[in-house]
Amino acid sequence: MSYAKSGKNKFIFFLLTCFVVLTLIYIKTIFSLPSQITLFENREYTYDFKSPFLNIKPDTEDVLMLESRDVSLNSVNFKFSTPVMFKPQKMGRVNLNMELFGFIPLKTMQVDVIPDREVVPCGNTIGVKINMEGFLVVALSEFETIDGKILAPAKEAGIKPGDLIVEINKKPVESISQLIKYLDNFDGKSIHVMYKRGNSYHNAIIEPAISLETKKYQLGMWLRDSTAGIGTLTFYDPETKKFGALGHGITDVDTGILMPLDDGEIVESSILAVKKGKQGEPGELKGILIEDKEKLGVISKNCDQGIYGILNENAKNEFPDKLYSIGLKNEIKLGAASIMSNIDGKSVEEFDIEIQKISERNASGSKGMMIKVTDKRLLEATGGIVQGMSGSPILQNGKLIGAVTHVLINDPTKGYGIFIENMIKNIDTLNTNVNTNMKKAS
């Protein structure tokens, strides 16, 4: 009797052990799936989840259809034991909530659907100018007044570096020169300021004081309302004239804050010299903006994944016209690739690189892959990746797969790139105030 009981307990223990092992293997398999994938419209993709225990619940039904032998297309709760067909229906986003046995949450997979299209990779250097929506406070200062006091009016009012001044005395700010003129004619009253910190708005009262040094009213803060520089145009869509550039956002050099865009433009540029990069010191394409010619286009978006806007009708004549298919992240392979860049100010050339790492954790950011320059011509000319090359298109197997974004300070031969699918999503979200922006650019 005891022998039979012992055998039964061993059998139960064996079953429990098998169940735990299988469950752990299963959960590991599920968590090895990416948290985000991008698919093209009107294509079919097959995924084999290899489990009868998995339930998938989409949070919307019109972006992506799921199909297998076990379910109907209109079901909102999919239980699969066979390969699953993903059928993207239209541009958009759907979250697939995965559950074990229908009630134990495992993970959520974000699926972005984008149009299947061809675009033109560029590699041309451009001049970039943006005006901010307000005044960015880059620093605070104190000064001695005519009566011998040491004051810091803005700081005492609660203003901090990184704040964005949007109104002065209940009127929208227009330019720093306007503010200087206002202070020159100041009547001694307090100034009411509205500023933005993060995503919230605040009010402050600043009491200007007369500086002993300048004999003028001062606020004790350093402000910036615009910036300009050199970058690289990544691509444009010849049908819509929408473009993407840089692959990373334009941030303030002092505060590191993403500069809030009021309006901006891209113009022609001329490369005057190249400062080679070396360990601990990034190189740079030194150039000037050519502002006496027609603008190339307007910028309508500045975000972490780059700048985006609309080209002028005539601007397409300044850039290449060869169409390339888009290569999604899951198509990218480690190994040989190339970048397109204009380092001599005359022509765009293709240079050899190697893709050394593809990141899953930073899939939506500007550091999706690590690259290394292997082309001797580029290494001799620049030392590797330099400032101004941000936005240089990355090509592999005849497809546009990304853009150069950053250089490693300690090794200028290496840097990071953004997946092109992230940049494509940004031009797809540009709204229809194109006509208004085009009037500004013409």
Report the catalytic residues: 248, 375, 390
Question: How many Å apart are CA 115 and CA 137, to the nearest integer?
Answer: 40
For residue 299, the Cα-to-chain-centroid distance in whole angstroms is 14
Helix (H, G, I), strand (E, B) or coil at 3: helix
User: What are the distances in angstroms from CA 44 to CA 65, 66, 90, 103, 428?
Assistant: 10, 10, 13, 28, 21
Question: How many Å apart are CA 364 and CA 422, to the nearest integer?
Answer: 6
Question: How many Å apart are CA 2 and CA 8, to the nearest integer?
Answer: 10
Residue 14's H or E segment, with its range, is helix 2-31
Nearest CA to 85 out of 98, 66, 71 is that of 66
Q: What is the DSSP string of 42-54?
A: T--EEE----TTE
Q: Where are the alpha helices (DSSP H) in 32-152?
A: none
Question: How many Å apart are CA 358 and CA 180, to the nearest integer?
Answer: 50
What residues have CB less than 8 Å from 314, skipping those under 6 apart? 294
